[in-house]
Chains A and B, each alone.
Chain A
Amino acid sequence: MELANDSMLEIPHARALGLKVVYFADDKVRVKAGYADHLVGDPDTGVVHGGVLTALLDNACGMAVRPPGVERADLAIATLDLRIDYQGAAQPHRDIFAEASCYKRTRNVAFVRATAYQTSPDEPIATCVATFMIGTSNTPRDKTPGAAP
């Protein structure tokens, strides 16, 4: 868990959001987004912005694609698409969890589902399905503006 958390914290955006890996196994990953003032989307109520859920779910889904025991776990991945259904408002001042599992993995593509919740996964605030490309290019690119991708 510590190792998974350390490697996730190497992702600057995950660190900036304050994400934490609380469970990481081959069948499931659970990531926590602790409540923080900078994540608020509605200053009147203190409810976090929907974009925080997007980032949390995307990150959890990406991790589920490459759990500890999976071959080619070192390959780079890229999100192909992500669909989120919002089932209920998040309560302000409470942490949000995302639980993700990869239900099908082919040579090139991985299919993942995830649930975001505060109390229990049985009471979701959002559910999501995502697909990822596996083995995308991960070579540093020329940073000069206007250079061909």
Chain B
Amino acid sequence: MKLLSELRAEGRGQDMQAVVERIPYARFLGVSVERKGNEITTVMPFQESLVGNTTLPAIHGGAIGAFLEMTSVIQLLFDTACEWLPKTIDVSIDYLRSARAVTTYGRAIVTRHGRRVANVRSEIWQEERDKPVAVSHGHYLLTPY
């Protein structure tokens, strides 16, 4: 991705907020990145367009899945400063409780970083950090074709 090499050239290889601002789908979901030292948290404020169940109301499972995936990829880019976007090979999502009409936060851990493939676990929560809304684990291809 041109953006990644540009940021790196400017010495901002770890500026993940700049990355999400350039990804149209991340803007559509309203995702931002907060950084404290070497720790990053993804943030998805509530908006009406995320709703999947209007009665409860609850955020759509697809938006939750997308946010988990974005959290994983952002963490991978932050850790590795690679110049291309990792490609998702597979992702498995467990939905633990319905996501309410409030802000959602995400953190990810690169469980294993190989030469070609990385394994990443993500967790997202809302008002209480110890009550995750959903978790995921996935494999990401790091090498370009």
Binding site for B on A (CB under 8 A): 10-17, 37-44, 48-52, 54-59, 62, 76, 78-86, 89, 136, 138-141, 143, 145-146, 149
A-facing mask of B39-66, CB < 8 A → 1, else 0? 0000000001111111111011111011
Chain B residues in the interface with A (C-beta under 8 A): 1-3, 22-29, 48-57, 59-63, 65-67, 69-70, 85, 87-95, 97-98, 100-102, 127
| A142 → chain B closest CB, angstroms | 10
Asked whether, in the complex, the Cβ of B67 is within 8 Å of the Cβ of A51, the reply is: yes
Q: Which residues of the other chain, B, contact A12 by a CB distance below 8 angstroms?
A: 48-52, 54, 60
Distance (whole angstroms) from the CB of A29 to the closest CB of chain B: 15
Describe B's contact surface by its main secondary structure: mixed
Residues on B with beta carbons closer than 8 Å to the beta carbon of A89: 87
* B49 lies within 8 A of A16 (CB): yes
Q: Which residue of A lies closest to B1 (CB)?
A: A44
Q: Report the Cα distance A145→B46, complex, angstroms.
A: 13
| Min CB–CB distance B144 → chain A (angstroms) | 12
Task: Report the bound CA distance from A67 to B145 in whole Å.
Answer: 40
29 A/B residue pairs, CB under 8 Å, sorted by A? A13-B49, A38-B28, A39-B24, A39-B25, A40-B25, A43-B23, A49-B26, A50-B69, A51-B29, A52-B66, A55-B62, A56-B62, A58-B60, A59-B52, A62-B61, A76-B53, A80-B94, A81-B93, A81-B94, A82-B65, A82-B92, A82-B95, A85-B89, A89-B87, A138-B55, A140-B57, A145-B102, A145-B127, A146-B127
